Homo-oligomer: A and B are copies of this chain.
């Protein structure tokens, strides 16, 4: 029978700090969030946060790691029929964004990167090293780095216009409808022919 009334100590502390950091970055933005705020939100000592993660940049990278799940994103592209990679990646990403009226922590991460040049630098490094490189490597196509960056431009654009700006036609559309429209675009970026000019 599971114990109740007490949260377990050690095993979840790391995860609780990351969850607290995700909340702080989403609510206050990157620049206004400090290790001290995160520690207070998680109910732990700031020194513990520093011991686990180092500084704020590393903590932001941990949040990105937990929220985006680079391994799963790359697997969505790499595993299964190649001509459905765009749809798999889009469905994975829409799942990360969550309910259109109550978006999950991914939107907070994007907000931080849009408003803080430093957060953008940290997120860019994370995306380049752990996500886009993996997707590019999974593709059997030239210009993999540019292709995966174009994919992320469309995904980030959906995050901003559907979940932040909330354009009505996008919030009214179902995930399946959006997949019908956008999956072919991601597929084109991933494996389609480049139209040279």
Which A residues have a C-beta under 8 Å from some C-beta of B? 29, 110-111, 113-115, 120, 123-124, 127-128, 132, 145-146, 148-150, 152-158, 160-162, 164-170, 173, 176-177, 179-185, 188-189, 194-197
Q: Count identical subunits in the complex.
A: 2
Cross-chain contact B152 with A161 (CB below 8 angstroms): yes
The prevalent SS among residues of A at the interface is helix
Q: What are 16 of the A-B contact pairs (CB < 8 Å)?
A: A111-B114, A114-B164, A120-B165, A124-B165, A124-B167, A145-B168, A146-B169, A150-B181, A152-B161, A152-B167, A153-B161, A157-B157, A176-B197, A180-B194, A180-B197, A184-B195
CB distance from A58 to the nearest CB of B (A): 19
Residue in chain B with minimal CB distance to A180:
B197
In contact, B164 and A180 (Cβ under 8 angstroms) = no
